[in-house]
């Protein structure tokens, strides 16, 4: 049941989290956290998303805040290190924030960079971490992805190419042309039909994110309908959103791959003290933001109002969907 808007707005804190490096083109992550009766939830749809897409992110935050997490099957989740599109020389410093991680996800196909930059970054990661996966965020054409797969595997294997091309048809074609496994992210979380990519045999791995899919229940529902492995990943979440994603990963019947939930290290400051990976894994636990951090990281009044108005509009979208 959708909570009353007035009750929701009384529970909202809007924060601006400074980042260590540019990621997804931003250096400050704005989002809202919700102090709910069942725990804390997060609403952090990226600024460019329209209200229809953002409403699913609000639904996820409401589920955490008003309903709580699903029952866990495990209490520690292996995570991958996340390496932004930094110069190869900066890779060791990035990896140092992920102690014990045996898998790394490397951002590639960054605007303004070259395939040679990607290869150098991947080689620097491969020198320290045994399993490497790359994420192109749909930036390559099929021929470009074929060339990239060849270059990036010249000296070692890749666990998979995450969203190398934008469309399901392109992913399916690429999968027929390369030996490297293909993972789908945007083709699931931004699709009207998140199962279309699986029916098209366009992916070997499904990357699922709690917030864009509308919450842990929706994520678990999708995972139950597909026969390919699942990786639970972050949507550049705060400690609150990471906790919700860890809870979803903990509830999956099967979890064979490290999850992309170590992105807390990308923030200079967070709403709660981030959990430190132990042997490459994070604990599954509830997170309660520190009131002092919420105050110190509070967004300026104009930005808070922008988020409040966005929540009003997304709440209306959810109310319409529920009718």
- Residues annotated within the binding site for Mg(2+) are 135, 162, 185
Given 13, 29, 105, 107, the catalytic residue: 107
Given 126, 209, 257, 304, the catalytic residue: 209
CA distance 294 to 272: 9
DSSP string over 89-125: GGHHHHHTTSTT--EEEEE---TT--HHHHHHHHHHH
Point out the annotated binding site. Answer: 135, 162, 185
User: In a 3-state reduction of DSSP, which class is residue 153?
Assistant: coil
| Pairing state between β 182-184 and 205-208 | parallel
CA distance 77 to 179: 28
Contacts of 317 (CB under 8 A, 6+ apart): 51, 52, 55
- DSSP letter (8 states) at residue 264: G
Residue 105 appears among annotated catalytic residues? no
- Give the start-end residues of each E strand in 100-240: 103-107, 131-135, 161-162, 182-184, 205-208, 230-232
End-to-end CA gap in the chain: 11
Q: Closest Cα to residue 107, out of 191, 163, 168, 173?
A: 163
Q: Which residues are catalytic?
A: 107, 209
């Amino acid at each position: 049941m959708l909570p009353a808007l007035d009750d929701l707005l009384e529970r909202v804190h809007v924060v601006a989290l400074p980042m260590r490096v540019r990621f997804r083109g931003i250096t400050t992550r704005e989002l809202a956290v919700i102090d709910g009766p069942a725990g804390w939830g997060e609403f952090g749809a990226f600024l460019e998303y329209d209200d229809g897409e953002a409403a699913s992110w609000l639904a996820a935050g409401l589920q955490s805040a008003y309903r709580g997490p699903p029952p866990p099957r495990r209490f520690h989740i292996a995570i991958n290190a996340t390496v932004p599109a930094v110069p190869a020389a900066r890779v060791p410093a990035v990896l140092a924030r992920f102690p014990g991680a045996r898998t790394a996800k490397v951002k590639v196909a960054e605007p303004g960079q070259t395939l040679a930059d990607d290869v150098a970054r991947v080689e620097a990661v491969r020198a320290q971490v045994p399993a490497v996966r790359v994420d192109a965020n749909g930036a390559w054409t099929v021929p470009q992805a074929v060339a990239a797969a060849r270059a990036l595997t010249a000296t070692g294997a890749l666990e998979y190419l995450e969203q190398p091309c934008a469309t399901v048809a392109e992913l399916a074609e690429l999968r027929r042309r390369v030996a490297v496994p293909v993972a789908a992210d945007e083709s699931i979380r931004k699709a009207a039909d998140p199962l279309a990519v699986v029916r098209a045999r366009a992916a070997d791995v499904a990357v699922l994110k709690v917030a864009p899919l509308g919450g842990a229940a929706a994520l678990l529902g999708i995972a139950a309908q597909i026969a390919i492995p699942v990786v639970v990943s972050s949507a550049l979440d705060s400690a609150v959103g990471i906790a919700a994603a860890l809870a979803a990963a903990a509830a999956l019947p099967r979890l064979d791959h490290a999850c992309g939930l170590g992105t807390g290290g990308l923030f200079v400051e967070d709403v709660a003290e981030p959990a430190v990976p132990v042997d490459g894994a994070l604990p599954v636990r509830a997170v309660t933001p520190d009131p002092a951090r919420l105050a110190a990281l509070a967004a300026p009044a104009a930005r808070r109002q922008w988020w409040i108005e966005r929540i009003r509009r997304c709440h209306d979208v959810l109310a319409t969907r529920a009718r």
